[in-house]
Amino acid sequence: MAHQWSDRGFSTRCVHAGTFEDTLAGGVNTPIFASSAFQVPGPLGTVVYPRYQNIPGQKAVAEKIAALENGEAGMVVASGMAAISSVFLALCQAGDHVVLQRDLYGGTLALARKELPRRGIEVSWVDSENPEDFAAAVRPHTRLIYVETPSNPLLKILDLEALAREARSRGVFTVVDNTFATPINQNPLDLGIDIVVHSGTKYLNGHSDLCCGAVVARSDLLQAVGSAVSLYGPSLSPYDCFLLERGLKTLALRMARHNENAMAVATFLAKNPRVERVFYPGLADHPGHAVAARQMRGFGGMLSFEPRGDTETAHSVMRRLKLFKPAVSLGGVESLACFPVETSHASVPPAEREKMGIRETLIRLSVGIEDVEDLITDLDDALQAVGEPKP
Ligand SMILES: Cc1ncc(COP(=O)(O)O)c(C=O)c1O
């Protein structure tokens, strides 16, 4: 069980938790179990089938993620959106009401704006980082509160312990997308949150070569999510389980470097006269810094900033970047840059984006594990596009 790992360090859990013992050949890695047909009755003592989330590769990597999140049980699925939509499908039905933070990944926003109402689920949005504002949005038929912290793309921080307390006292489930923080930096379940979801496509895998997702929760809640996954079918293939498990072995090491590099990059940008605003929870003047310092062990590898000047200037800065590749997605070993208005939040109507505070000039960086001096030089060169800063 995942909780047996709680007295071991995160690096140890990354390497060892969940590994399926190869008693046939003595290999140290979980073998790739490439079967979709398993004998009945078989040695595992149950009906085994990939869509039921119980082939050994799925169970091994799910247990590793659960161990890292200090959760009772975990599950891996075919994408982050599969994890998120399965939670809504499992816990909500027509007539229910859900409360969502407004600053969320664009795909989650689209799901809540288009799909949930189509299924008769009512949605309220909260434009604040104050847990009491989430509590105030709760109604008698509210089923769950859904948030991201740090959020995508403005790195807003929510006090998870206070949010969980408010929600519990009202009998409402809480769900946190922990993709940006990763379990190395933050464990929402320890703060009283009910369910954690991940886009494993990002830091968990860490090498930008795989799409997957994960859910971690109490066993009874996870069973409900598992039923939805079995019926709707977004299962993860044994080959992808192998890749994800391999990536996870270095998660703690990678996150230490991501944290360090992003802090240095944010500090450089914050001092740079060619930069208008920087969003990084590790900076002392970030509005969520005190809460982040309390509930996170590191501030993560994601940050956003606005160069001074207009949209054309911001595009010139982007074009000059050499090491930071202009790309969607995040959380890999390589540094990436994107305009959220063109990528993660392209599906959000402009008026709503404006309300969220996402400007056309906002550049989001996924700071990789390269030598940080090289990353800073790359940004410094690109920012020359802004011209001479006004005194
Ligand atoms: C914070 C966050 N959550 C969820 C997702 C969705 O994950 P996936 O693309 O693996 O479905 C993303 C994707 O960018 C994300 O950034």
Rounded to the nearest whole angstrom, what is the distance from the C-alpha of residue 199 to the centroid of ligand 1? 5
Residue 41 preceded by cis peptide, ω within 30: yes
Locate the domains of the chain by residue range: 9-248, 251-386
Give me ligand 1 centre to Cα 329, in Å. 8
Alpha carbon nearest to ligand 1 atom 10, residue = 80
Decide: 70 in ligand 1 pocket, CB within 6 A: no
> Of residues 96, 103, 159, 177, which has the active-site annotation?
177
Do the domains 9-248 and 251-386 sit in the same CATH topology, yes or no? Answer: no
Whether the CB of 225 sits within 6 Å of ligand 1: no
Q: Give the mutation target among 76, 77, 81, 103 for probing the ligand 1 site: most ligand atoms within 8 A of CB.
A: 81
Which atom of ligand 1 is least distant from the CA of 104? 1
Distance of CA 62 to the CA centre of its chain: 16
| CA 181/CA 355 separation, integer angstroms | 24
Query: In this predicted structure, what is the pLDDT of residue 391?
Result: 67
User: So what's the pLDDT on residue 3?
Assistant: 58
Q: What's the average pLDDT block by block, 10 residues per block, for the chain (391 residues)?
A: 80 97 95 95 90 97 98 98 98 98 93 97 96 97 98 96 98 98 98 98 98 98 97 98 98 98 98 98 98 98 98 97 96 98 88 89 98 98 90 67
Distance, in Å, from the CA atom of 380 to the CA atom of 391, rounded to the nearest integer, reads 18
Q: How far apart are the CA of 37 and the centre of ligand 1, in A?
A: 31
Rounded to the nearest whole angstrom, what is the distance from the C-alpha of residue 219 to the centroid of ligand 1? 24
Selected catalytic residue, list 59, 96, 105, 274? 105
pTM of this structure: 0.96
Burial class, 57, CB count within 10 angstroms (exposed 0-12 / middle 13-18 / buried 19+): buried
Q: Count CA atoms closer than 13 A to 343's CA, side-chain side.
A: 17
Select which of 13, 59, 156, 202 is catalytic.
202
Q: Looking at domain 251-386, which of 3.90.78.10, 3.90.1150.10, 3.40.50.720, 3.40.50.410 is its CATH number? A: 3.90.1150.10
Q: Which fold has domain 9-248?
A: Aspartate Aminotransferase; domain 2 (3.40.640)
Q: Per residue in 364-379, is it b (16+ CB within 10 Å) or e — as a string?
A: bbbbbbbebeebbebb
* 51 assigned to active site: yes
> For ligand 1, is residue 199 a contact (CB within 6 Å)?
yes
**Distance (Å, whole) CA 325 – CA 383:** 15
Amino acid (1-letter code) at residue 276 = E
Q: Which residues contact 7 (CB under 8 A, 6 or more apart)?
A: none
Q: What is the pLDDT of residue 42?
A: 87
Q: Are 287 and 357 in contact (CB under 8 A)?
A: no
